[in-house]
Amino acid sequence: MPSIIRMENIVKRFPSVLANDHVNLEVEEGEIHCLLGENGAGKSTLMNILYGLYSHDSGKILIRDREVRFRGPADAIANGIGMVHQDFMLIPVFTVVENLILGAEPVKGFSLDLEKAREEIANLSEKYKLDVEPTAYIENISVGMQQRVEILKLLYRGAEIMIFDEPTSILTPQEVDELYKIMNFLRENGKTIIFITHKLKEVMEISDRVTVLRDGRVIDTIDTSSTNPHELARMMVGREVLFRVEKPSVRIGKRVLKIENLHARNQRGLPALNGVSLDVAEGEVVGIAGIDGNGQTELVEVLSGLRKIDRGKISLYDRDITNFTPKELIDMGIAHIPEDRRLRGLILDFHLYENLILGFQDNKPFRRGVILDLKRVKEWSSELVEDFDIRPRDIDVNAGSLSGGNQQKVVIAREFSRNIKLLVASQPSRGLDVGATEFVHNQIMRVKAEGKAVLLVSLELSEVMNLSDRILVIYEGKIQAEFDPKKTTESEIGLVMAGGHV
Amino acid sequence: MSRNINESVLTAFKVLVAIFLAFLFGYIVLYIMGYDPVVAYGSLIKGAFGSKRGFAETLISTTPLIFGSLGFILAFQCGLFNMGLEGQIAIGGIVAAYLGYTIPGLPPFIHITICIIGAAAGGALWGLGPGFLKARFGIHEVIGTIMMNYIAFDVSSYLVSTHGPMKDRLTDMPASPFIHDSAKIIRIWKGTRLHWGIFLAIFFSFVVWFLLFRTRIGYKLRAVGKNQFAAEAGGINVPRYMILAMVLSGLFGGIAGGVEILGIHYRLFAAFSPGYGWDAIAVSLLGLLSPIGIIGSAFLFGFLRSGSILMQAIAGVSKDMISVITGVIIFFMGMSDPVGNFIKDKLLRKLYGNSV
């Protein structure tokens, strides 16, 4: 196979970090090539250089053996390179067609020739089996469909080389399968795909070859068929990684949380929870599995006091806590890891020490009359930063400047550092790399080992399988089935998640 | 810690550069318009600092600007824009004047205190309305506060109009009666109008700083301002703090108006504030939204206001030129980040670029 892209000795230095250190990458025409690495390994930097968003300090880029120098994405697009970013660049109130022609509008006389564009786009969508409706408005279509619109945009602009930046992070398992189908189909049609990810499973499932990056350097490029997840993990992290979390054996104790016949609505006022009942006991981890949008978000919001319920009853150690406020629930000893830490978990513009007390700003020992005892706050925060290995070890930096993994450590440090009775964790490893995920899982197991109750909500089935003592599957706002993780398989659970029956 | 100090030095530098560039810009504009910029600027400085009276007037203008800015900052730290300061100043003035001429025979200290508390309460009430509408119904506070301005202006005009209830019957002027001597804030510099208000303003700057950055209320108020969703999850009653911020904001608007009446005018007339409530927004931005920083920026604006009178008289340059300069200062402040980043980027590229 001839190589379509060669990047030789690419160096990119940012003020405080060497993001790419003499990186070599060779991509063959018509392959799916994975770029694997932890957050901050330099994958995205390398691809942003290839896409013309960053300029490299030294090194060469060759496309079909011809050296190129891009001054911006426009040059990259002209050379047949396209990129699907993690955040889509689509205008919600425009239709698919209007979004796609933006920047290169076809005109007839003085008016837009939308009909011609629509036909062209419909043909492309059909040819590549993308199933996109050209006249649909972006705001009305699902996230998975929006991603396909982005892919269609690349095709419409004649891209031969397509870069996907962590495309699965926002998709449901079903949408991931469909994305894989589309990627395979694109490959069959001669397109070259570079796939950025930090998930080993994805590398194994979809790629022909994989290049592993760590700390800005290439560790190796290998054929996927000749490797296994363990070897890849070791290359990526630089040490052995345990995939199975060590579950501590804890005696299951008294019932802590009891939810009876819970009904609640979602943001738009439509029924989201339709009679959920469950309970969690001391020392027990109960995992909620399900496809996104089946009521998990609302369930967690109810349990953290952010959403009022219509009907039902929630009790903690037999005390009725239905419709308590967030503050009351915090004081009752319910810890909460929100699904979106940047939105609900942290105040990004606040110092670490201010974030580490959010929720107990009015409690002892930080309360001194009307005054917030900053000396105590800082002492306490310094300890937490040390205990939970938050980097940098500086409580004066803003939370927003931390990496995703360290931001999650701040949330965990805050929530776990007090006497809790129940932990409600929603997608605790979302967006985290292997190392940080391992940390989070070990911390949750520590809470279990201390005899606390844990309710774990996750879209990652493997996470639920690994950590839970019992698995409940939620579908359309109802618990559909209960599984023992030792006696079931992912596919069995997956069937119920999709609305099937056991 | 050293990094934080470096950062604040850098921001202070940025402000100074913005001010310098604005004056440079004004210089060029004056030159193009055919004035002598040296004479104009000279008379501006002379007007503000060249005489006892000029300097006193500088501090007199500084006073309501500090109070107004404290109001703006309190709302802003909670993520809200109080565009109603000018109206809250008007209400504060109305209440202070009314209490000032209706209550006889009190010792000065008590009378003044009552008048200022009344003015503060009036302003707070004017902030409560929009704050409640925002917190309860999500009505944008900019709309709410601006609407409240019109009500305040018209109420104030009506009260001192020919048949208005606060009109002084002994004069033809559309003004209220004079306040009792016991309500007048004591003047501290003979031969000038300078009064105690300036010290009160500086004192309150430190109070507000303490409130925002050292108390639990301030923490919660700022948390709502920076991320109301995380604040809500952290057990903070978001609507309550939004309302509180608007009330405190209006309260300082009210004090600004009250002190202006009790210290300078001694009676109410319509539109007694020459736009202090609007200038306070610019002062706050230039003071980097810090209760301490605004002491400096309010002084700068006070200087420009006071000096511009002599500049108009001597150099023949319209007072409005000052508005141009203040506008340009704010413009350069806004520009400083993108421009600064651009310069940093170029510099770093020179230092690191292609050398590795």
CATH superfamily label, A3-237: P-loop containing nucleotide triphosphate hydrolases (3.40.50.300)
d(CA A8, CA A23): 6
Rounded average pLDDT over A99-119: 81
d(CA A333, CA A101): 54
What is the band of B351 on the pLDDT scale with cuts at 50, 70, 90? Answer: low
Cis geometry, peptide bond prior to residue A392 (ω within 30 degrees of 0): yes
* Strand, helix or coil for residue B192: coil
Contact B232, B93 (CB under 8 A): no
What is the band of A144 on the pLDDT scale with cuts at 50, 70, 90? Answer: confident
Transcribe A265-319 into DSSP letters. Answer: E-TTSSEEEEEEEEEEETT-EEEEE--TTSSHHHHHHHHTTSS--SEEEEEETTE
What is residue A292's predicted lDDT score, i.e. its pLDDT?
79
Contacts of A58 in chain B (CB under 8 A): 354, 356
Residue with the larger pLDDT of the pair B123 and A127: B123
What is the band of B343 on the pLDDT scale with cuts at 50, 70, 90? Answer: low
What is the band of B279 on the pLDDT scale with cuts at 50, 70, 90? Answer: very high
Residue with the larger pLDDT of the pair B174 and B343: B174
DSSP state of A487: G
Which residue of A lies nearest to B224 if distances are taken between CA atoms? A347
Rounded average pLDDT over A97-124: 83
Per-residue pLDDT tens over the stretch A312-365: 999 999 999 999 999 999 999 999 999 889 899 999 999 999 999 999 999 888
Shortest distance, CA B295 to any CA of chain A (angstroms)? 24
What is residue B42's predicted lDDT score, i.e. its pLDDT?
93
Shortest distance, CA A12 to any CA of chain B (angstroms)? 9
What is residue B346's predicted lDDT score, i.e. its pLDDT?
65
What is residue B1's predicted lDDT score, i.e. its pLDDT?
40
Highest-confidence segment of A229-233, A433-437, B50-54, B201-205: B201-205
d(CA B7, CA B22): 23
**CA trace torsion A408, A411, A416, A417 (10° rounding):** 120
Contacts of A372 in chain B (CB under 8 A): 214-216, 218-219
Per-residue pLDDT tens over the stretch A458-474: 988 889 999 999 999 99
d(CA B166, CA B96): 12
Contacts of B353 in chain A (CB under 8 A): 57
Return the amino acid letter for A210. V
Contacts of A354 in chain B (CB under 8 A): 219, 223
Per-residue pLDDT tens over the stretch B136-167: 999 999 999 999 999 999 999 999 999 899 99
What is the band of B6 on the pLDDT scale with cuts at 50, 70, 90? Answer: low
- Count how many domains chain B has: 1
Rounded average pLDDT over B197-208: 97
Residues 6+ apart with CB under 8 A from B12: none
Per-residue pLDDT tens over the stretch A380-418: 999 999 999 898 889 999 998 888 888 999 999 999 988
What does R_g of chain B's alpha carbons equal in angstroms? 22
Count Cβ atoms within 10 A of the Cβ of residue A419 and give its class: 0-12 exposed, 13-18 middle, 19 or more buried: exposed
Shortest distance, CA B241 to any CA of chain A (angstroms)? 14
pLDDT at B135 over 80: yes
What is residue B350's predicted lDDT score, i.e. its pLDDT?
60
What is residue A229's predicted lDDT score, i.e. its pLDDT?
86
What is residue A129's predicted lDDT score, i.e. its pLDDT?
85
> What percent of chain A lies above the pLDDT cut of 70?
98
Per-residue pLDDT tens over the stretch A209-254: 999 998 889 999 999 999 988 888 888 888 777 667 778 888 899 9
Q: Which of B347, B316, B204, B293 lies closest to B16, judged by CA?
A: B293
DSSP state of B220: H
CB contact B2 to A (< 8 Å)? no
Which residue of B lies nearest to A325 if distances are taken between CA atoms? B235
Contact A178, A208 (CB under 8 A): no
Residue with tokens 């600027």: B41
Contact A346, B230 (CB under 8 A): yes
Position B59 in a domain? no
Per-residue pLDDT tens over the stretch B87-105: 999 999 999 999 999 999 8
Rounded average pLDDT over A183-195: 93
Rounded average pLDDT over A54-77: 90
pLDDT at B274 over 70: yes
Position B301 in a domain? no
pLDDT at A163 over 70: yes
Domain range enclosing B284: 66-295
Provide the chain B residues 123-142 that lie in CB contact (below 8 A) with chain A: none
Q: What mean pLDDT value characterizes chain A?
A: 89
CATH topology assigned to domain A253-333+421-437+451-502: Rossmann fold (3.40.50)
**Residue B61: what are its φ and ψ, rounded to 5°?**
-70, -30
Rounded average pLDDT over A274-303: 93
Position B300 in a domain? no
CB nearest to A11's CB, from B4, B220, B356: B356
* Claim: this prediction has a pTM higher than 0.90: no
d(CA A123, CA A426): 41
CB contact A361 to B (< 8 Å)? yes
d(CA B291, CA B353): 41
Q: What mean pLDDT value characterizes chain B?
A: 91
3-state secondary structure chain B: CHHHHHHHHHHHHHHHHHHHHHHHHHHHHHHHCCCCHHHHHHHHHHHHHCCHHHHHHHHHHHHHHHHHHHHHHHHHHCCCCCCCHHHHHHHHHHHHHHHHHHCCCCCHHHHHHHHHHHHHHHHHHHHHHHHHHHHHHCCCHHHHHHHHHHHHHHHHHHHCCCCCCCCCCCCCCCECCCCCHHHCCCECCCCCCCECHHHHHHHHHHHHHHHHHHEHHHHHHHHHHHCHHHHHHCCCCHHHHHHHHHHHHHHHHHHHHHHHHHHHHCCCECCCCCCHHHHHHHHHHHCCCCCCHHHHHHHHHHHHHHHHHHHHHHCCCCCHHHHHHHHHHHHHHHHHHHHHHHHHHHHHHHHHCCCC
Shortest distance, CA B92 to any CA of chain A (angstroms)? 28
Which residue of A lies nearest to B236 if distances are taken between CA atoms? A327
CB contact B161 to A (< 8 Å)? no
Provide the chain B residues 207-226 that lie in CB contact (below 8 A) with chain A: 214-220, 222-223, 226
Shortest distance, CA B327 to any CA of chain A (angstroms)? 28
Per-residue pLDDT tens over the stretch B78-88: 999 999 999 99
What is residue A502's predicted lDDT score, i.e. its pLDDT?
62
Residue spans of the domains in chain A: they are 3-237, 253-333+421-437+451-502, 345-418
DSSP state of B337: H
What is the band of B356 on the pLDDT scale with cuts at 50, 70, 90? Answer: very low
**What distance lies between CA A147 and its chain's CA centroid?**
15
Residue A263: both structure tokens together: 């009904």
DSSP state of A460: -
